[in-house]
Amino acid sequence: MNSKDTVMMNNHQKGFKHILETIYEKLTQDGIKVTLQKIAKNLYYKIKGIDFSMQALHDLDIQSSHKNHATICGSSSEETMQAVLKTIIALDKDITKGVFVDIGSGKGKLLARASKYGFKELIGVEFSKTLSLISRKNLQKLHIQNVTIYTEDATNFILPPHTKVIYLLNPFDDIVMEKFLRHILTQRHTFVYDIYLIYRAPVFAQLFTKFKDFVHVKTHKYKGDKTEFYLLKKKRDLHA
């Protein structure tokens, strides 16, 4: 066996060892049942050709002045998404009667999970054409019907009047976040419902102190993952 073959064999052995160590770690943390469910889910996605992997945005052709202010296209665990969604459902018994909007929806994984909770309508807003296309294919393969993906900058997107939830997985920096929050407030008179804003991985939560209209209602922590929940009251009719 030459040196090249030896190196390749050693790399394969290291790779296999890493896989076994990862499986053992998951078994230790989550137990056999949950680990097997995760493996089955990943196999299902693989067989169906569904891509929920992470994506570096600098690799994508994005025609937006805000490209350099965006964060990585992340991929949340099923458990984390479920914990966050269960929390918002518990805050308002009528939450699913409105529209759920995911800002920076990436490849659609969160929308796929949210669809299981019975929201009237789901919307994804994503400024990458590539990611929008992938998410549409993913959601179609999962047979999710009541979802629309818009390829648009969040600071220009007009929220539907029946919006009930806005979801943010730290999609952009403080500069764009401030623009986005101001943009929401300019549309406030059109809203039918009070709106809950979910801010996961809230790196710029301090920014909300500038916007008193977004009232903090809850902090949720799950396995080291932090989420802030805010409530924006619809603009009341003073003549009512």
For residue 106, count other CB atoms closer than 10 A to its CB.
28
Q: Which residue has the tokens 């629309």?
A: 148
For residue 15, count other CB atoms closer than 10 A to its CB.
10
Tokens in use for 116? Answer: 């299981």
Largest Cα span, the chain: 87
pLDDT tens, residue by residue, 154-198? 999 999 999 999 999 998 889 999 999 999 999 999 999 999 999
Domains of the chain: 1-48 (no CATH), 67-232 (3.40.50.150)
Residues 6 or more apart in contact with residue 181 via CB below 8 angstroms: 207, 208, 211, 214
What pLDDT is stored for residue 2 in this prediction? 55
Which pLDDT band holds residue 142 (cuts at 50, 70, 90)?
Answer: very high
pLDDT tens, residue by residue, 37-84? 556 666 767 777 888 887 766 666 655 555 554 565 556 678 888 999
Q: Which of 204, 199, 202, 71 is nearest to 127 (CA)?
A: 71
Q: Which of 124, 121, 112 is nearest to 52 (CA)?
A: 112
What pLDDT is stored for residue 238 in this prediction? 40
Q: Return the H-helix or E-strand segment holding 221.
A: strand 214-222
What pLDDT is stored for residue 8 in this prediction? 44
Residue 235 DSSP class: P
CA distance 224 to 200: 11
Mean pLDDT of 220-231: 92
CA distance 172 to 170: 6
Tokens in use for 10? Answer: 């050693």
Q: Return the H-helix or E-strand segment holding 89.
A: helix 78-91
Q: Which of 187, 88, 105 is nearest to 147 (CA)?
A: 105
**pLDDT surpassing 60 at residue 13:** no
Q: Which of 120, 77, 82, 83 is nearest to 100 (CA)?
A: 120
Q: What contacts 24+ positions apart, CB below 8 Å, involve 31-34?
A: none
Residue 73 DSSP class: B
**pLDDT surpassing 80 at residue 118:** yes
